[in-house]
């Protein structure tokens, strides 16, 4: 897995206008930690082909070289997503957020933008990391710049999310700070939730899905188990299930 060789434009910001009866409905797609918009592009294209306005931002520190992710403060990710949400709201009457993995931290943005936000779609979301090492992440980062990559956990052969081939440790320390703040915001989120969980995920444990379902303030919550995908399910065998069920969710909550 690496950034080099990615299709032109797939590891940068991507936006597309809507058309027809769905042109005033916007969807913000957020990629995972060490990943790129490439992991969400097919998902976004699926909706844009049906007339929805879409936005797939590149998070700060991503899409270049892994060392750059060690130079980012968590607030930069928050600001990027927040800015994209503000722009999307300017041209949309209703907005949805769709996230993969680390994109689950957009709970903080979702909690602050419920004036036009009408639904939240999460695919194998990350909101906490188990184990004692998380308490020493900042200390570990002082002695170890990176660890083995956690990207490309995809069951389908020959598929890549075009992300980093290393796990930047200072970036991990900042991510953990962001996760803590995002989790605290869950009770404030009242919009409907659709959450997908791969039963065989080698990156994010199932406890993350359980935390979202238990702690989010939404009354309307639906869980869909994916039986033939690993962590990056938006590019895996169950992608069509995700796309089709998400479309039904969007249609239901756009009325």
Residue 197 CA to residue 253 CA, distance in Å, equals 21
Residue 231 designated active-site: yes
Question: Catalytic: which of 39, 55, 62, 201?
Answer: 201
Residue 201 designated active-site: yes
Burial class (CB within 10 angstroms; exposed 0-12, middle 13-18, buried 19+) of 57: buried
Task: Provide the pLDDT for residue 131.
Answer: 57
Residue 149 designated active-site: no
Residue ranges of domains in the chain: 14-132+148-165+178-254
- Tokens 């998400």 identify what position? 246
CATH of 14-132+148-165+178-254, one of 3.90.1150.10, 3.40.50.720, 3.40.50.1820, 3.90.340.10: 3.40.50.1820
Look up residue 117 and give its two tokens.
Answer: 């936000």
Taking 70 as the pLDDT cut, the residues of the chain under it are 1, 130-149
């Amino acid at each position: 897995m690496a950034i080099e060789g990615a299709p032109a434009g797939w590891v940068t910001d991507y936006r597309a206008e809507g058309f027809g009866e769905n042109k005033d409905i916007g969807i913000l797609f957020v990629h995972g930690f060490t990943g790129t918009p490439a992991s969400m592009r097919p998902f976004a294209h699926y909706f844009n082909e049906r007339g929805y306005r879409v936005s797939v931002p590149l998070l700060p520190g991503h899409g270049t070289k892994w060392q750059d992710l060690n130079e980012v403060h968590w607030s930069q990710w928050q600001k990027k997503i927040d800015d994209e949400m503000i722009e999307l709201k300017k041209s949309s009457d209703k907005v949805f957020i769709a996230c993969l993995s680390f994109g689950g931290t957009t709970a903080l943005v979702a909690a602050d933008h419920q004036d036009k936000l009408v639904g939240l779609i999460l695919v194998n979301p990350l909101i906490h990391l188990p184990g004692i090492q998380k308490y020493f992440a900042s200390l570990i980062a002082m002695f170890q710049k990176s660890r083995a990559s956690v990207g490309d956990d995809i069951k389908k052969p020959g598929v890549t999310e075009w992300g980093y081939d290393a796990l930047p440790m200072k970036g991990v320390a900042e991510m953990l700070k962001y996760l803590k703040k995002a989790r605290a915001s869950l009770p404030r989120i009242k919009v409907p939730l659709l959450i997908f969980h791969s039963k065989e995920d080698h990156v994010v444990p199932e406890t993350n899905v359980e935390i979202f379902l238990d702690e989010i303030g939404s009354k309307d919550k639906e869980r869909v188990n994916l039986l033939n995908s690993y962590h990056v399910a938006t590019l895996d065998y169950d992608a069509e299930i995700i796309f089709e069920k998400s479309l039904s969710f969007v249609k239901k909550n756009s009325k």
